[in-house]
Amino acid sequence: MKTSKQSVWLVLCFMALTVSCKNEAGQNTTKNSSNNKQAKEPRTGQAFVKDDEARPSVLHIAIGSENHSTLVTAVQAAELENALVNAGPLMVFAPTNEAFDALPDGTVAHLLKPENKDRLAYILKHHVTPGNYSKDFLKKFKKLGQASNENISVEVKDGEVYVGGAKIIASVPAGNGIVHVVDKVILPKN
């Protein structure tokens, strides 16, 4: 009987010690979380939900492309991630890194500054059209209405499709539309 009481006592002490350690670790985590929260609020919204089963959105296709890191950086700076994961359908004309590099020196760095967020967002919206049309189907259009509330021209030259002067060089279907990779940044008139 004495051995049984000692065993119960040892088990209770071990449980108390374990609970005490967990509470202390939880308090440290809480303190660290509140310090991190003060440093930078986490971004929220549909763009930040992990989904490994659904077809990637136009945003996640860009994120997964090493040729679109400048575009992704710009989208993040303009805080447009949630707009690019909505139900759509959306056509995104996605300039490559080389297309951004072709802009005058300092243009991208200037647009990425926080004080230029609205201008950057306007330029990026100029690359988005409601709809989900293939490159071949776009040949039927003369112009497209962009999310910037401006229109861009659609031209066919030597069988190739150009939107706003940028050539479509590839197309990738997405869960909420299509990404047309283009060789130029499409700048709005305004």
Closest CA to 173 of 38, 60, 36: 60
- Distance between CA atoms of 92 and 107, rounded to whole angstroms? 21
Q: What 3-state DSSP class applies to 183?
A: coil
Is it true that the peptide bond before 114 is cis, omega within 30 degrees of 0? no
The tens place of each residue's pLDDT in the chain, 190 residues long, gives 444 444 444 434 444 334 344 444 444 444 444 444 444 555 545 444 454 555 788 899 999 999 999 999 999 999 988 888 877 899 999 999 999 999 999 999 999 999 999 999 999 999 999 999 999 999 999 999 999 999 999 999 999 999 999 999 999 999 999 999 999 999 998 7
Q: In angstroms, rounded to a whole number, what is the distance separating the alpha carbons of residues 152 and 165?
A: 8
What angle is formed at CA 66 by the lines to CA 84 and CA 136, rounded to 5 degrees? Answer: 60
Q: How is domain 52-182 classified at the CATH fold level?
A: FAS1 domain (2.30.180)
| Amino acid symbol at 100 | F
Residue from 159, 165, 158, 170 nearest 144 by CA = 165
The pTM (predicted TM-score) of the whole model is 0.71
Burial class (CB in 10 A: 0-12, 13-18, 19+), 99: buried
What are the angstrom distances between the C-alpha of 122 and each of 49, 83, 133?
25, 13, 22
